[in-house]
Amino acid sequence: MIRRVALIPGDGIGVEVVREARRLLEALNASESLGLELVDWDLGAERYLREGITITDEEFAALAEYDAVLLGALGDPRVPGNEHAKDILLGMRFKLDLYVNFRPCVLLSPKLSPLRDLVGPLCLEIFRENTEGAYTGMGGSFKTGTSDEVAIEEDVNTRKGVERIIWAAFEFAGSRGRGRVTLVDKANVQRHAGGLWRRVFAEVGAAYADIEQDAMYVDAMVMDLVRRPERYEVIVTSNLFGDIVSDLAAEVTGGLGLAPSANIHPGRVALFEPVHGSAPDIAGKGIANPIGAIRCVSLMLDHFGRSDLGERVEAAVAGSVEAGKTTPDLGGEYSTEDVGQWITARVVGVHAAST
Ligand code: NAD
Ligand code: IPM
Ligand code: MN
């Protein structure tokens, strides 16, 4: 069976980390006869600056026909308005209705966490609503540039949108044997949205009596995530809170460079992207951590029904950290390419040696 995968390296370190993810995909494709067809896509700041085009309707339609997309990152100081990231990344999430943004943050070794005295293990699995909330662009500006300027950014919460992400979080927790699902909101202030989220959370949660359930205000929750992160397992939240909580959860579990994400609507093309951005401060230096992108390969393999291979990738990633084969953000002295090559050799080589 042929599976088509579009690779969109994008900007900055996106290019460097997707190169390593591609190396691993190619090696697995050859060793496991996965039937993957990898297709490179030139979307990003360069193309926008060159042609004035971010992404066309035809390109969206073509991407929708793929089985998966791997995106590096979009963001470039030469495009301060971030128009291309909004059109391409948010465009895919919204137009393809990829309503689950799944962001697993797994601590590989307590020594990686900035938190003192952490003994681990830690596995924070965030279900971020991905198609509405504060991200719709609804609202507007009035009297822009004057002292009477008004800027309105609506926060859109629909029954359908809230229900399906909460349902996805509980389904995942139930099927994977997770002990707790935590809703994160700001229901003490955002009474309309908070009321909807809390009612739906209680309704959907009623079918999962074995799972502990709690709802927390986002300010108290992020404080608590630093104080006692081991208390959290599956976290479900809105688009904006999910964006913020996922960067914090990634850092608590070892660093932004380690975290992958999947944008899913069952039955449709799935979009995988590391949680981090294009990191202009380190772009071009060859020191970006490729593990977030490599873990996207692991999530993609799970998605394709090959969680055996996904586990092998995770084990190789853990092996690289254990062996100190890491980029400088994790205290190592290795390059993006060194780490990518090491992990790929481990995934393909160790298995070949043991069979
Ligand atoms: P960022 O995630 O790019 O960087 C934040 C910090 O983390 C920087 O110090 C960076 O060097 C470090 N970092 C990030 N990834 C790393 C890695 N793999 N290895 C080592 N260090 C890493 O966030 P930012 O600086 O706020 O954003 C830069 C640009 O990226 C902006 O234009 C932003 O909009 C965009 N962005 C894009 C995505 C995406 O495409 N999915 C996600 C987040 C931010
Ligand atoms: C992310 C990013 C994006 C978001 C930006 C680049 C639009 O921060 O994927 O976490 O806010 O969702
Ligand atoms: Mn983000």
- Which residue do the tokens 């190789």 mark? 316
Q: For the segment 165-219, what is each residue's pLDDT rounded down to a tens digit?
A: 999 999 999 999 999 999 999 999 999 999 999 999 999 999 999 999 999 999 9
Which residue intervals of the chain bear CATH 3.40.718.10? 1-99+265-355, 101-258
Q: Is the Cβ atom of 278 under 6 angstroms away from ligand 1? A: yes
Q: Is the Cβ atom of 210 under 6 angstroms away from ligand 1? A: no
Helices (H), strands (E): how many in the chain?
A: 13, 12
Tell me the ligand closest to 76's alpha carbon.
1
How far is 63 from 143, CA to CA, in rounded Å? 39
Query: Which atom from ligand 2 is nearest to the alpha carbon of 240?
Result: 11
What mean pLDDT, rounded, does the chain reach? Answer: 96
Q: For the segment 336-345, what is each residue's pLDDT rounded down to a tens digit?
A: 999 999 999 9
Overall fold of domain 1-99+265-355: Isopropylmalate Dehydrogenase (3.40.718)
Q: For the segment 109-131, what is each residue's pLDDT rounded down to a tens digit?
A: 999 999 988 877 899 999 999 99
Q: Is the Cβ atom of 74 under 6 angstroms away from ligand 1? A: yes
- Percent with pLDDT over 70 in the chain: 98
Q: Give the distance (Å) from ligand 1 centre to CA of residue 149.
A: 31
- Residue 37 confidence (pLDDT): 98
Among 16, 87, 244, 276, say which to mutate for ligand 1: greatest number of ligand atoms within 8 Å of CB. Answer: 276
Q: For the segment 225-270, what is each residue's pLDDT rounded down to a tens digit?
A: 999 999 999 999 999 999 999 999 999 999 999 999 999 999 999 9
Q: Is the Cβ atom of 234 under 6 angstroms away from ligand 2? A: no
Q: Has residue 310 got a pLDDT over 60?
A: yes
How far is 254 from 321, CA to CA, in rounded Å? 10
Query: Which atom from ligand 1 is nearest to the alpha carbon of 79?
Result: 32
- Residue 118 confidence (pLDDT): 84
- The residue whose C-alpha atom lies closest to atom 6 belonging to ligand 2 is 85
Q: Is the Cβ atom of 89 under 6 angstroms away from ligand 2? A: yes
In terms of phi and psi (left: phi > 0; alpha: psi -120 to 50; beta: otherwise), the region of 35 is left
Q: Has residue 90 got a pLDDT over 60?
A: yes
Tell me the ligand closest to 73's alpha carbon.
1
pTM across the whole model: 0.96
Instruction: List, as one string, the DSSP characters of 124-179.
Output: EEEEEE-SSBTTS--EEEESTTSTT-EEEE--B--HHHHHHHHHHHHHHHHHHT--
Average pLDDT over residues 271-277: 97
- Residue 350 confidence (pLDDT): 66
- Residue 351 confidence (pLDDT): 58
- Percent with pLDDT over 90 in the chain: 95
- Residue 121 confidence (pLDDT): 87
Catalytic residues: 135, 186, 219, 243, 247
Overall fold of domain 101-258: Isopropylmalate Dehydrogenase (3.40.718)
Among 83, 90, 130, 247, say which to mutate for ligand 2: greatest number of ligand atoms within 8 Å of CB. Answer: 90
Instruction: List, as one string, the DSSP characters of 292-338.
Output: HHHHHHHHHHHHTT-HHHHHHHHHHHHHHHHTT---GGGT----HHH
Q: Has residue 322 got a pLDDT over 90?
A: yes
Q: Is the Cβ atom of 282 under 6 angstroms away from ligand 1? A: yes
- Tokens at residue 214, please? 């709690």
